[in-house]
Amino acid sequence: MMYYSRLRMASVIGVCLIGLALCLPNVIRQPMASLPWRQIHLGLDLRGGSYLLLQVDMNSVTADRLRGLQDETRQTLLKNSLGYRNLTTSAHGVTFTPRTPEEAQPDIKALRAMPMNVPGEFKVEQAEGGQITLTLSEEAARQRSYDAVTQSIEIVRRRIDATGAIDPEITRQGDDRIIVELPGISDPERVKNLLGTTAKMTFHLVADSAIGSSVPPPGVELLPMTDGQSKLPVFSHVDVDGADLTNASASIDQQSGEWAVNFTFDSTGAQEFGDVTRANVGKRFAIVLDNKVIEAPVIRTAITGGSGQITGGFSAQQATDMALLLRAGALPAPLNVIEQRSIGPSLGADSIRAGGYSLAAGFVLVIAFMALFYGRFGWYANIALLANLVLMTAILSLFEATLTLPGMAGMLLTLGMAVDANILINERIREEVARGRSALQAMQAGFERATGTIVDSNATALLAHVMLFVFGTGPVRGFALTITIGIVTTLFTTLLLSRMLMVRWYARTRPSALPV
């Protein structure tokens, strides 16, 4: 129990040296580009940056589903050779009048057979006046809202990652809001523009017969061109959905010399794109992005390769951003920025300075306390405490964790917990000395009696902070992360390093009395 082999000592010392080496990237510059150089990243409250609070437009989510349901209703009725009159959308459903009273029941039967996104998404009923209504259910609406926020968070993360932002923090708040924290980005205008763009791309056939008409016929809608000067009538039915895109990139068109966006479909999109272009050679095919027509070229021949190109007088930045948006995917609904804050680097530096002062002051006071009350064994505890701080920093650096003010508070609390463990060991040794045991017996009994208590208390604290990290958000996770790492390093430094120092001192000096 009180014997340390050379291999065991070498292992303990080796871990401490590795930890010291992993801390170096935080204090010195990288000597070679090929050398792995993992550092701790500073959070928003330390480094400065931007804070955005986004709100998902749930009305748009419902409106999009109603438009899709209206189009599905039209296609289902026509497919079954059933007519309709006055097909419109209301706040919660789709309403139409059967062509004849005899077609009401066939209409209802055909509509109830339509596929639903979620079970019980809508119900089909006939009102007293003969109208048939498809009403969206409340449960389906709640599920659709939850899915919209979840999908938005994932797409926002992909878009921000593509800009090169380091360690963005993206979390859900409430039912329809998303918090975005961007450390190191003090001017988030480009990010705001990227997040404020829905980037929903669809492909529609142009209704040439409705050109020049101010009131489009049913199934046709007027969409503005990107120049803002004119509108183009396109069929409401989506012939090819941009959700089937697998890749998009910006490049220079070899013929015109202008910037363009190249896109590629997956197998489903490529099949649909090929079928539509094959069946509509000579017709115009509109490329629509966020309800604006980018361009509407004439289909010269069937496009079966599953790829295409968009040109529209883009600048290099515009083409790059559009390709980024298409790669990341379309948001299910627009995001509105309802709050924006910027934290300057000076405020972050003040936070670092204040946190550093508190950590240093706490560390010095703990060292003084241990040296004053426990003498030599107190200094061994101080060495273990310093190693504990080094190992915590090393693990945070290894995983390139983000350090926040709550994280620094967690490090200070960890040092206090580590001191508690050393105090418990020294007090146990004192008790054994007071009982008249020899120096070696007192040390061995003190460690044996304290080890179980230390392990049990740290194990319960570890479980609590792991749960806090799993279920917490933002600053809470940063605090829980440093505490969790600190508990592991505390067990190592207290039960292995400080014990090794005491054992080596005893083996070298063989004292008759212990300095506690």
User: What is the secondary structure of 28-52 as a DSSP string?
Assistant: S--S-TTS----PEE-HHHH-EEEE
Tokens of 171: 């979390």
The residue ranking higher by pLDDT, 342 or 453, is 453
Predicted local confidence at residue 345, as pLDDT: 59
Q: Coil, strand or helix: which one is 250?
A: strand
Predicted local confidence at residue 318, as pLDDT: 82
Residue of 119, 118, 77 lying closest to 94 (CA atoms)? 77
The residue ranking higher by pLDDT, 437 or 198, is 437
316, 26 contact by CB (below 8 A) = no
pLDDT at 474 over 90: no
CA distance 313 to 332: 27
- The per-residue pLDDT for range 300-320, each reduced to its tens digit, is 888 888 888 887 677 888 888
82, 108 contact by CB (below 8 A) = no
Tokens of 55: 């709100």
Predicted local confidence at residue 189, as pLDDT: 77
Predicted local confidence at residue 175, as pLDDT: 84
- The per-residue pLDDT for range 128-137, each reduced to its tens digit, is 778 889 888 8
Predicted local confidence at residue 186, as pLDDT: 65
pLDDT at 173 over 90: no
Predicted local confidence at residue 29, as pLDDT: 83
What's the count of helices (H) and strands (E) in the chain, helices before strands?
Answer: 13, 19
Predicted local confidence at residue 102, as pLDDT: 86
Query: What is the residue-averaged pLDDT of the chain?
Result: 85
pLDDT at 385 over 70: yes
Predicted local confidence at residue 409, as pLDDT: 84
- The per-residue pLDDT for range 261-270, each reduced to its tens digit, is 888 888 888 8
Residue of 283, 286, 281 lying closest to 239 (CA atoms)? 286
Residue of 452, 501, 156, 161 lying closest to 329 (CA atoms)? 156
Q: What's this model's pTM, rounded to 2 decimal places? A: 0.65
Predicted local confidence at residue 347, as pLDDT: 57
pLDDT at 187 over 70: no
Predicted local confidence at residue 48, as pLDDT: 75
Containing H/E element for 380?
helix 345-398
310, 295 contact by CB (below 8 A) = yes
Residue of 322, 380, 107, 71 lying closest to 194 (CA atoms)? 322
Predicted local confidence at residue 63, as pLDDT: 85
Pairing relationship of beta strands 285-289 and 259-265 according to DSSP bridges: unpaired
CA Rg, the chain, in Å? 33
Q: Which of 276-285, 388-397, 401-410 has the lowest mean pLDDT?
A: 401-410
Give start and end residues of each alpha helix (H) in 203-344: 267-279, 316-328
- Three-state SS letters, 91-111: CCEEEEEECCHHHHHHHHHHH
